[in-house]
Every structure is written in structure tokens, then in C-alpha cells.
Structure 1
């Protein structure tokens, strides 16, 4: 089973059970953001987590095996058209250089890891309209001289 078929099976099971990523993550004691990413094929899952996800969603062992496969992280390089994804793309386009400058002033010349990384999505209720709080937490990796 490839990652695309795996994702189709997992998404169908999630929909059939009426589950949210928040519920799945909570019930499995895993980050809902990480579970969603693994189920969408963008991260591999260690064997025990793959088995737990597959059993929880009542999909076959071939899905658990596919969850363990290391992904090829490729996405469409065109400007995204989905409004939510486009806005995130816009944030990076508008604030990317700003974030780079501020991070490098604080840490030096380097990057924020997306490997040693976690992310959370929270809802902040506000009378003027609910707010989305994204927390990106990545290890700083300095560039080395040699």
C-alpha cells in the first residue's frame, strides 16, 4: 500500500467514525497535529504508533505498515489556491524575511529545524471573532564554518 492509498483509507475511516484530529490525538495520547500529518502521509510513524492509529481507526495492518514508511515530502510548488493554505503562504511571503532577520538577531546565522519540531493549533475565543493561535517550536540549528 502506498501513502496515497493509506491516506484515503485513514480519511475514510476518520469520516465514517465522525472523529476529529483532536479526539484521535487525545484518545491515543499523541499530538493531533502530528497524527494528522502522519495520516496525510507527510511523516512516518514508529511501529507502535502506527499500530495504535490503525487499530483505533479499525483499518488493516497494511495501513499500519504504510504509516511506518518514510515519506517523500513533496508538495505542489505552485501558489496554493485553498484560502487557508494560501493565507499561511501569504504569511511566509510577507513576514518570512522579517522572521529570518529577527530569529538570526536572537540566535545567530542558522535555521529553525522542522525535524526537531512541534506544532500546536489552539482556538482563542474573542468577542470580536475567534482567533487561531499557531505555535511553531523548532530547534535552532546554527550554520557551521569549516
Structure 2
């Protein structure tokens, strides 16, 4: 049974290492796992990378599918602490998304608030899809971010 250096429950980083290792060794993709488990590939990937929690039923299904034990399922259920590096990312794909927000963040804020009012887009009541659009000039990435609008309250 995998345990962390403190000798108790597995942390999210250890969980992710085991999940990704199992996925790679079995030659699986996130799309395949998600399709077989009937969940969103974006949600599944996020949960397996430690940024979302799973229900006990979902966690058991993921662990069983990958041939991992209950400590992985328990770690999948644990509520994550969503902390990421505050430095500018260096991975080219992640950096480009960071760049999109840096260049268009204020524009998105203005357009959203002009349409909805003063508030934010939820990252909790939220879904995301990643699609591939084939194009003879080069395939395109389509990101769909769908978040509930949350108006600021006055009191």
C-alpha cells in the first residue's frame, strides 16, 4: 500500500505520480479513460492531476480502471488545495494560455461586465471542453469555457 513519508494518507502529488505512471504504462489516453468511465476528459484529467476532487464512487472507478489501490481512491476524494506556481510558466502551451489572459484578460473583463454587469465568471460552477477542429492550414484548438456569472453584491 503506497503511503507518504509521514506514514499516513497519500497526498495529491503522490497520487498524480501513480495515476500518470499507470496511464502511461497501460498506453491509455485521458480521452479513452474518460469515455470508458463516462465522465468529461477535462474533469477527469484535472481530478487526476490533483486540482479537483472526485466522489467516492468516481474515485473507486478511476483507481480500479487503472489497477491502483484504495489509497489512490482516497486521495482522489480529498479536497484539493488549489495552489499553482505564481511565476510565469515556462511550458510553451501553458505559457500561451497565460499570455492569452495577459493580453486579453482586461478585454474579457470589460466585455463580460458590459454584458452581465459587475461580477465574475465562476470557476466553481464551471465546465470546459477542448476540441480539435481540422483545418487544411493547420488544425485548430477550440477551448470552451462555460462559467456561471456571479454578480457582486452591494450591502
Q: Give the TM-score normalised by the residue count of structure 2.
A: 0.93
Cα distance in 1 for residues equivalent to 2:82 and 2:140: 29
Q: Matched residue of 1:137: which SS?
A: strand
Of the three residues 78, 84, 90, the one matched with 1:81 is: 90
Matched ranges for 1:59-138 at <5 A: 59-138=68-147
Aligned equivalent of 1:14: 23
Cα distance in 2 for residues equivalent to 1:49 and 1:145: 39
Cα distance in 2 for residues equivalent to 1:93 and 1:74: 19
Cα distance in 2 for residues equivalent to 1:126 and 1:31: 25
Cα distance in 1 for residues equivalent to 2:67 and 2:76: 14
Correspondence 1:144 to 2:153: yes
Alignment length (residue pairs): 146
- Residue 93 of structure 1 and its aligned partner are, at CA, apart by 0.2
Aligned equivalent of 2:40: 31
- Residue 54 of structure 1 and its aligned partner are, at CA, apart by 0.5
Q: Matched residue of 1:35: which SS?
A: helix
TM-align CA RMSD: 0.4
Q: Give the TM-score normalised by the residue count of structure 1.
A: 0.99
Unpaired runs of 5+ residues, structure 2, are 1-9
* Runs of 4+ with deviation above 6 angstroms: none
- Residue 33 of structure 1 and its aligned partner are, at CA, apart by 0.5
Deviations 1:25-48 (A, max 9, x none): 111000000000000000011111
- Residue 77 of structure 1 and its aligned partner are, at CA, apart by 0.2
Cα distance in 2 for residues equivalent to 1:4 and 1:93: 28
Q: Matched residue of 2:136: which SS?
A: coil
Correspondence 1:56 to 2:65: yes
Unpaired runs of 5+ residues, structure 1, are none
- Residue 5 of structure 1 and its aligned partner are, at CA, apart by 0.6
